[in-house]
Amino acid sequence: MMKHYTKHPKHFVAVDCVILGYDEGELCLLLYPRGFEPSKGAWSLMGGFVQDDESSDAAAKRVLKQTIGLEDIFMEQVAAFSNPNRDPEERVISLAYYALVRMDEHDKACVRENGAHWWPISELPEMIFDHGQMVEQALVKLQQEAGYRLIGKELLADKFTLLQLRKLYEAIFRREFDPGNFRKKILSLNVLERLNEKDSSESKKGAFYYSCKNEVTERGLDRIVKV
């Protein structure tokens, strides 16, 4: 077999996963204490090296499966991080992905096995290398996604109130929304189905539960939020 690239430099390629969940009004990030040098014991995103027989997407899906025990969840590439000095050990180019996980569905035993911990976005610890930059860029990507497509199915329970949906959007965009305007905008999109069931915890009158209409959640929508 001819080797045409032998004179060119060779680099390691890795994936790092920004795994986001939502719990009690706050976005959370899954981190684990790195198990090897360099920076052993420091907080790190979940990641791994791309193997010879897989694409970067396949590597990210493998990491997610091993970490949280889930497949077929929302995942999107954020960016490539290629600063020559980003990893003090070797030249490693990392492709960052972000994934959205329902906190009531992930495998808690998998998380414990990795020593991982859910951190509120507002209280993140210092992370290794450029992982903090990866998180910030992932959050910008999430805002862009949520601005044009209803993010609810990926992070909320199967049924939710409009208040719960608004609180999720406030957590994503890190600001408050006018309740009336948010309700009017969301209902105008015709992407929710109102259920014949109420949550009585929000008020004496109760608030109707809604669910996402599966047939329209993937299509492009009018802008929900201006980023």
Instruction: Name the more confident of 187 and 214.
Output: 187
Q: What percent of the chain has pLDDT over 70?
A: 94
**94-136 confidence digits (pLDDT tens):** 999 999 999 888 888 888 888 899 999 999 999 999 999 999 9
pLDDT value, residue 217: 45
Using CA atoms of 168, 170, 173, 176 in order, give the dihedral in degrees to the nearest 10: 170
For residue 179, is pLDDT > 50? yes
For residue 33, is pLDDT > 50? yes
How far apart are the C-alpha atoms of 186 and 94, rounded to whole Å? 37
How far apart are the C-alpha atoms of 64 and 19, rounded to whole Å? 8
The model's pTM = 0.92
How far apart are the C-alpha atoms of 104 and 107, rounded to whole Å? 9
For residue 151, is pLDDT > 80? yes
**206-221 confidence digits (pLDDT tens):** 899 999 987 554 445 5
For residue 34, is pLDDT > 80? yes
**35-83 confidence digits (pLDDT tens):** 889 999 999 999 999 999 999 999 999 999 999 999 989 999 999 999 9
65 contact partners, CB below 8 Å, separation of at least 6 = 71
pLDDT value, residue 113: 87
pLDDT value, residue 222: 64
Type of residue found at 30: L
pLDDT value, residue 219: 47
